[in-house]
Structure formats: structure tokens, C-alpha cells
Structure 1
Amino acid sequence: MTKTAPAAPSKPAAKSTPSTSSTTSSAPAAESATTRSAQLKVKHVDPWSVTKMAFVVSVSLMVVSVVAVTVFWLVMQITGVWGSLNDSVSNVLADDASGFDVTDYLGFGRVVGLTLLVSSLNVIFMSALATIAAHLYNLAAGILGGIEVTFGERR
């Protein structure tokens, strides 16, 4: 949860006077006259909430990457890329290359397993780095005052 400075009084946008001509519409002027905005400073970010958010985002990226690698491997299998690669290696080696099969090295289980391993390390590192970044932000905000954010109403 973020802690913010007390809200500044909302300031209405600059009012424009309606046109004296009866054919000119004053709708944009009336719309901008009712818009309010508030300027706040983010002075503290809760490291625990940052950790939870980073964990959820990195786990989502893990699922996406595993699905993407699985689909990519299956498409390469269906289109015959692995067979073509085996034929190319057999032509280049030309000596007892009949025992070579690229899927022994880049098989489905190995590729998905490696993706799961790398993605799980990414979950750990991304969560840890986000937590460290939240602490560093809090230290910097204590010195510099934080980030100023302006919120406005949408009409």
C-alpha cells in the first residue's frame, strides 16, 4: 500500500468566458471548467506489497514462457524441422551419422524442463530485485521527497 502526502486542495482548471456569438458552442469550455486535479507525492512504497506484485507478475511470465516454448517446439516438430536438421547433420558428418538424433539433445522434455528451471530462477530473482528496488526507492524518497503525481478526473 502506498502512503501519500495529504491531498492538496483541488484546483479547478482555468475558466474561460463563453463566447458572445450565439453560433459558437461553449461545451469544451464548460467541460474544462469542471475538471479537478490533485497533486500528491509518493513518499513510501511498501516493500511487502512490491514483493507480492513482483511474484505474481513473474509467475505469470513463467506460465507464458513455458506455453510459448511448448508451442514453438511442437510447431517445429509438426513442420519437420527436427527431421531436416537430422538430415543436414547426416550429410555434413557422412560417417556413421545415422545414430545422431537432434531430439536426443533438444527433446521436448529437456527443452520444457530447462524453460521451467530458468523461469523459476527468474521468479526468485525478479521478486528479490523488486524488493531491493522498493527499499532503495524508500531511501531515495526520504532524501529527495518522492515522486510527484497529478491525478485528474476523467469526464
Structure 2
Amino acid sequence: MSQPAGQRARRRGEQPPVAVESTSAAGWPVDPTADAPPSATRSEYPSEKRRRKLPEPRRARVYVTRLDPWSVAKAAFLLSLAIGIVIVVAFGFVFWTLDSTGTLDAVSRTIDDVLGTGGFDLLTSLELSRVLGLAAVIASVEIVLVSALATLFAFLYNVTVGLTGGIEVVLSDN
């Protein structure tokens, strides 16, 4: 739709133009009620900024009323498997660091000084294969426990959701 010359289409919610009686030295219209300096352009007036409203973000309220125990078990297994791998790698890295810096030798000498000669030899007991084996056992126990407990908590959540109504999650546009 074409507009007559000098006019523009007004958008919904937009105020009609204000009649201005005075002009600045540069020829720009001056609004006597505005706090802006006379050299400011029309779009920089604070009254113009106040008129523009940002659209409200959309919000949706969702209630989590059921957890599928099998899905929870699978997700917990994968998460605990990743944590188990981190445990094994961390044990190996710490052992390698302590061995390469000579800390294990210093601790072994300190134990020999405290217990006397012919005592406990730390270096023969601590080998990389034993440390990684211990880390693998700890990681395996962690995987089984986390998976089982997460599944148990999913069952318990499904039982109690009848009393509580579930957890409310609010999703909104940002």
C-alpha cells in the first residue's frame, strides 16, 4: 500500500508524531519537554525510548511427572563410565608424576628411616600395573553403584510424584 509523500505507515502501538513549534540552530525540531540537548536527533530523545516496548518473552511451564527408569539407567551408566575412565587416567597420571619427580623414592626412604632397615619397601609394592588395577576396581564399583542408585531414585521419584505433582520447569525465550 503506497503512502502519500511525507507520510509513513504507523506501526501498532506507535504514538503519532508530536507537533513541535521550535527548531534548533541546525534546523532540527526541538521538543521542549525532552531532556536532550538541542543538537540531538529525534530518535535520541528519552521520551522516544520509553515508548518502545520490547516483546515479553514466551514462557511455558512443564511438569516432570514421570521418569523412565530404563532411560535413567542408560544415562547414568554412560555418565558413570565417563567418570570411571577419568578415575583410571587420574590414578595413572598421579602415579607417573610422583614416580618421575622422585617423590616415591623419598617416601620410601622416609619409611625405611622410621621403621628401620629390612622394613617395608614401598617401590616393590607400588607398580604402575597395580595402581591401574586398583583404579579399575574402584571405577567398576563406582559404575555399578551409580547406575543402580540412579535407577532406584527414578523408581522412587515415580512413586512420590503422585503426592507432590512433579517438578515444575519453566522454559522461556531469552
TM normalised by structure 2 equals 0.69
Which shifted more, 105-114 or 20-29?
Answer: 20-29
How many angstroms does 1:93 deviate by? 2.8
Letter in 2 for 1:66: V
- Which residue matches 1:29? 53
Pick aligned residue for 1:120 from 114, 131, 140: 140
Whole-Å separation in 1 of the counterparts to 2:68 and 2:77? 14
- Which residue matches 2:29? none
Q: Matched residue of 2:65: which SS?
A: strand
How many angstroms does 1:101 deviate by? 2.6
How many angstroms does 1:27 deviate by? 9.1
How many angstroms does 1:84 deviate by? 0.7
> 1:112/1:28 Cα in 2 relative to 1: closer, same or farther (>3 Å)?
farther
What is the aligned length? 134
How many angstroms does 1:96 deviate by? 3.0
- Root-mean-square deviation over aligned CA pairs: 2.4
Higher RCO structure (Cα 8 Å, ≥6 apart) = 1
Give aligned-pair identity as a percent. Answer: 33
Letter in 2 for 1:130: A
Which shifted more, 45-54 or 104-113?
Answer: 104-113
Q: Say whether residues 1:59 and 2:59 are aligned partners.
A: no
Whole-Å separation in 2 of the counterparts to 1:27 and 1:101? 81
How many angstroms does 1:34 deviate by? 3.8
For residues 87-137 of structure 1, the C-alpha deviation after alignment (integer angstroms, 9 at most, x for no partner) is: 11222233334xx43122222111111110011011011101000000101
Letter in 2 for 1:43: T
* Structure whose residues are more often strand by fraction: 1
Q: Matched residue of 2:137: which SS?
A: helix
- Which residue matches 2:31? none
TM normalised by structure 1 equals 0.77
Q: Where does structure 1 lack aligned partners over 5 or more consecutive residues?
A: 1-16
> 1:81/1:36 Cα in 2 relative to 1: closer, same or farther (>3 Å)?
same
How many angstroms does 1:73 deviate by? 0.3
* Structure whose residues are more often helix by fraction: 1
| Higher gyration radius (CA) | 2
